[in-house]
Amino acid sequence: GAGVSQSPSNKVTEKGKDVELRCDPISGHTALYWYRQSLGQGLEFLIYFQGNSAPDKSGLPSDRFSAERTGGSVSTLTIQRTQQEDSAVYLCASSLRPDQETQYFGPGTRLLVL
Amino acid sequence: AQTVTQSQPEMSVQEAETVTLSCTYDTSESDYYLFWYKQPPSRQMILVIRQEAYKQQNATENRFSVNFQKAAKSFSLKISDSQLGDAAMYFCACLMDSNYQLIWGAGTKLIIKP
């Protein structure tokens, strides 16, 4: 596609439920990134994929967070047993390669945990 | 540790005038890349401008230009002929050559007065 797409645009869930956030990167981009942006703050790195593998999962805040990427394309970020502090905007980005390359962002998913 | 600092939480400018947003960074690496991203209320993170540290010439993109002072580790963004559509959060970010993770500043909210 023309740009990075994410779905859903907004998600409201109840505390304790699981949620899945989807990212579809720019075609041909091998690197994919997930970031979290809490209200009024900068971006927090979560995880990075090169192809289907995730060399760096160090940014995931807890074991309730997991992510996968299939076919070197679409990625899913899953949050299990959501907590209110998980409420944030989750941004996905992709780049042609992981280094030296500009990261292009999707519109994000706003997650609200009640 | 690498850090990026934006010391201006908020700036305002009259439409058609010029405004400069400040950014400083700290890194021990010699090769890196600097970015300014714009995030309007739609929350899409949009690339404004990119600067390679090895290039002495300041990057420009239409009304947007940077003042890159490598020795001072300073990377300010100048917006000329400000337009209402420039109103947004502006984030400065740094990508190390040996890494893939963007390091972000806290952002500056730019207000355009009509």
Q: What pLDDT sits at residue A100? A: 67
Q: ∠ CA(B35), CA(B40), CA(B44), 5° rounding?
A: 70
**Measured CA distances, A30 to A35, B15, B78 (Å):** 17, 40, 33
Q: In B, which residues are within 8 Å of A106 by CB distance?
A: 44
Burial class (CB in 10 A: 0-12, 13-18, 19+), A44: middle
Label residue A2 by pLDDT band (50, 70, 90): confident
Residue to substitute from B48, B101, B109, interface A, most A β-carbons within 10 A: B101
Q: What pLDDT sits at residue B102? A: 87
Secondary structure, 3-state, B8-58: CCEEEEECCCCEEECCEEECCCCCEEEEEEEECCCCCCEEEEEEECCCCCC
d(C-alpha A105, C-alpha A26), whole Å: 9
How close, in Å, is residue A106 to chain B by CA atoms? 6
CB contact under 8 A, B106 and A41: yes
Q: What is the mean pLDDT of residues B37-46?
A: 91
The tens digit of pLDDT for each residue in A78-103 reads 999 999 999 999 999 999 877 767 89
Residue B78: count other Cβ atoms within 10 Å of its Cβ.
Answer: 15
Write the CB contacts of A97 (distance below 8 Å, at least 6 apart in sequence): A30, A31
CB contact under 8 A, A108 and B101: no
Q: Which residue has the higher pLDDT, B112 or A100?
A: B112
Which chain B residue has the Cα nearest residue A4?
A: B44
Residue B99: count other Cβ atoms within 10 Å of its Cβ.
Answer: 16
Range scoring the smallest mean pLDDT among B2-6, B9-13, B81-85 = B2-6
The tens digit of pLDDT for each residue in A16-74 reads 999 999 999 999 899 999 999 988 777 888 998 988 888 778 889 999 999 999 888 99
User: Would you call B64 an interface residue with chain A, using a CB distance cutoff of 8 Å?
Assistant: no
Q: What pLDDT sits at residue A58? A: 82
Q: What is the mean pLDDT of residues B41-52?
A: 91
Tell me: pLDDT of B63 over 80: yes
User: Would you call A98 an interface residue with chain B, using a CB distance cutoff of 8 Å?
Assistant: yes
